[in-house]
Amino acid sequence: MRLYIVRHGETDWNRIHRVQGRTDIPLNDYGRHLARETAEGMKDIRIDLGYTSPLLRAKETARILLGDRDVPLYEDSRIEELSFGSYEGRRTAGGEKDAQSEAFHRFFTDTANYIPPQDGETVPQLYERTGDFLAEICAREELRDKSVLVSTHGAAMTALLNRIRGNLSVSEFWRDGIPPNCLVTEAEVRDGKPRIIREGVIYYKEKVRKWKTV
């Protein structure tokens, strides 16, 4: 099995460094452009089926990447973005950064000491549900020879890749950085065990916009 794990394209909230979480923000025109460029780069890659987060930005990215391919696309809430609860909508950088949001910023700068609001989700909870998704997909015998697209989000993608790497440390959650929009990582699954074979592939020509947290 081959897995092609991708973060969704840009949204208006991405552009102004406003955290989205479960807030259902669609792609903007630039995000659709990035997805189309990525689709062009992946046009010769066989995709047999896809899984997407139910959130609009991930679903639209998946549909653009699949293009005219006549393959099934399944929604799975286990690869939704981390829920930030009442923290959603806060700015992580720039002149309008919320001066009262230090507790939230620990998610990026001091993840081990990040405490979500009561209506939010912890990093271990994110690891658990994304890990359950990955284990189920990798164990499915009927997918053994398939190529599978997985369209997800920054933190959810990081949780998936950290699990494949064998690193479930909360303090080192962002050790490899925050994945840019439409970043693609390819993993091979043998005997139910995934391993990364191509990481951090960017198919568009624009300079990668890094997610700012300060």
- Tell whether the model's pLDDT for residue 7 goes beyond 70: yes
The percentage of residues in the chain with a pLDDT greater than 70, rounded to a whole number, is 93
The stretch 114-140 carries a mean pLDDT of: 96
Catalytic residue among 8, 10, 60, 121: 8
196 part of a folded domain: yes
The stretch 194-207 carries a mean pLDDT of: 92
- Tell whether the model's pLDDT for residue 197 goes beyond 90: yes
Catalytic residue among 10, 60, 81, 121: 81
97 part of a folded domain: yes
Domain total in the chain? 1
User: Which one has a higher pLDDT value, 20 or 94?
Assistant: 20
The stretch 135-153 carries a mean pLDDT of: 97
pLDDT, tens digit, for every residue of 30-61? 999 999 999 999 999 999 999 999 999 999 99
- Give the global pTM: 0.94
Which CATH number belongs to the domain containing residue 104 in this structure? Answer: 3.40.50.1240
What is the Cα–Cα distance from 188 to 3, expressed in whole angstroms? Answer: 6
33 is catalytic: no
209 part of a folded domain: no
Q: Which DSSP letter does residue 111 get?
A: G
What is the Cα–Cα distance from 15 to 64, expressed in whole angstroms? Answer: 20
86 part of a folded domain: yes
pLDDT value of residue 67: 96
- Tell whether the model's pLDDT for residue 211 goes beyond 60: no
194 part of a folded domain: yes
Show the domain range for 69. 2-201
What is the Cα–Cα distance from 92 to 78, expressed in whole angstroms? Answer: 25
54 part of a folded domain: yes
153 is catalytic: no
Query: For residue 151, what are the β-bridge partners?
Result: 6, 52
